[in-house]
Amino acid sequence: MLRLLPADLTLVINLSAGDVAYAYFTAGALIKAHRKTAKEVILILDDTQAQYSHFYDHQKRYKEPEFTAKLKTVSEIAQEFKHQGLVDQVIYMSNFTNINLNRKYLNNRVKETHDFRGAPITAYLAGFEICKTQYLVRYDGDMILHQPGKDWVLRGIELLKEYSDCVAVSPRPSPPDYNEKINLELDPTYWFSTRCTLFDKVKLMKTIPFLQGKFMVEVWLRKLFDKTYPPAFETILTDRLKNHGFKNYYLLTNGSWILHPEEKKESFIKLLPLIIAEVKKGNYPAEQVNNETLELKAWEKYLQLIET
């Protein structure tokens, strides 16, 4: 029997101390979804602290000894995946000093490691730098994926080859209404989310540094008036790729979709294995239709119903 070779693909998942309670389940499911397709699987652990910001409680987020303990646990999870052969590399941002990512990718106009919310910038850039394959699919560590059978990335690679303006592909960002008739397979947009995106690195590298043109003036003004500076990485990337004429093609009809949990309290952690299992089967409560944010209360009721 002919064995299919992996695609020229790297899977990158970004993790941080904040993912400690659910990383084993979410990252584990994402790895298993793409392990056969990807040549290499890399976990990037952001073990650094963001610069101070008024936007969130910096002291609470990095309170010790809790912060160090969370990092230790996330690291142990990542290393266990590597020990099992599910992951090829675990990269720690505190050790990633061989290149100035901000200079190469951001024209050295943004020198901070995180955006104004404390979300990563350099940890995302590290994924592009480390990737040795033409194609890179990356996820935030809290994403939940449904794909029916065939890996959605394979269809994405076909589109990246077919369309010159396609630099990225993403699955549908929410579960569909199965009674809804969708005539279009694709939805090309100028939005490039960091949650889940497949990139053509060859095309992407033609646009670096990502921070160029008029947007550099906006970034300077944000910094001057201390308003939403540094900007989110997906905002920087979207501006650059849009100005270059590149689009992100969303897959509407191939059956793959994702969910993003906003509420991550204890009840979510308790139900997460069941939620992932149901999502894998393509099941979800009615309240989740066309809704990219995981509706925790709806899932609680839904799971109670299917258990009775």
Block means of pLDDT (10 residues each) for the chain, length 308 residues? Answer: 70 97 98 97 96 85 94 98 98 88 94 94 97 98 95 97 97 90 84 96 97 94 93 96 96 93 95 97 96 97 86
Domain residue spans in the chain? 9-260, 261-308
Full-model pTM: 0.94
What is the pLDDT at residue 179?
Answer: 82
Q: 9-260 in CATH: which number?
A: 3.90.550.10
Cα–Cα nearest to 125, from 7, 248, 287, 233: 233
* CA angle in degrees (0–180, nearest 5) for 43-134-251: 80
Q: In this structure, what token pair is assigned to residue 259? A: 């969910």
Q: Supply the pLDDT for residue 1.
A: 35
Please report the pLDDT score of residue 99 as a whole number: 81
Residue 113 neighbours by CB distance under 10 Å:
20
Q: What whole-number distance in Å separates Cα of residue 206 and Cα of residue 87?
A: 29
Lookup result for tokens 């969370």: 70
Smallest Cα–Cα separation from 14: which of 120, 129, 157? 120
| Bridge partners, residue 250, by sequence | 170, 187
Kind plus residue range of the DSSP H or E element containing 67: helix 66-83
CA–CA separation, 200 and 285 (whole Å): 34
Query: If we measure between CA atoms, which residue out of 196, 193, 200, 192 comes closest to residue 131?
Result: 200
